[in-house]
Structure 1
Amino acid sequence: MFYTYAIKSEDKNYIYVGLTNNPDRRITEHNNKKERTTRSYAPFKTILIE
């Protein structure tokens, strides 16, 4: 099963939307700056998982 997730930067005006089969792992990767495209916007708050 795949999930759509949206996360919002806590420090900047930035929202990222992604698709994954493991939202908890993926959001942790974003918050740990392991994703190059969102690294400069961390930390994130989850706003949607569907």
Structure 2
Amino acid sequence: MDRYVCSVCGHVYDLEKGEPRQDLPPGMAFVALPDDWQCPICFAAKNEFVKE
């Protein structure tokens, strides 16, 4: 499964887990997140994440 890592703080967005801090369910693809989505830890923009 896809994982994306925040290049600012290292937070991992894992497709299998979703993002519980933001009520995003497991299976929510990273590309399906809104363009204005931000890291729940450091608030970095979506484009600051890199695919692992």
Question: Structures share a fold, TM > 0.5?
Answer: no
Q: TM-score, normalising length from structure 1?
A: 0.45
Which protein has the bigger strand share?
A: 1
Q: TM-score, normalising length from structure 2?
A: 0.44
Greater relative contact order (Cα < 8 A, sep 6+): 1
Which protein has the bigger helix share?
A: 1
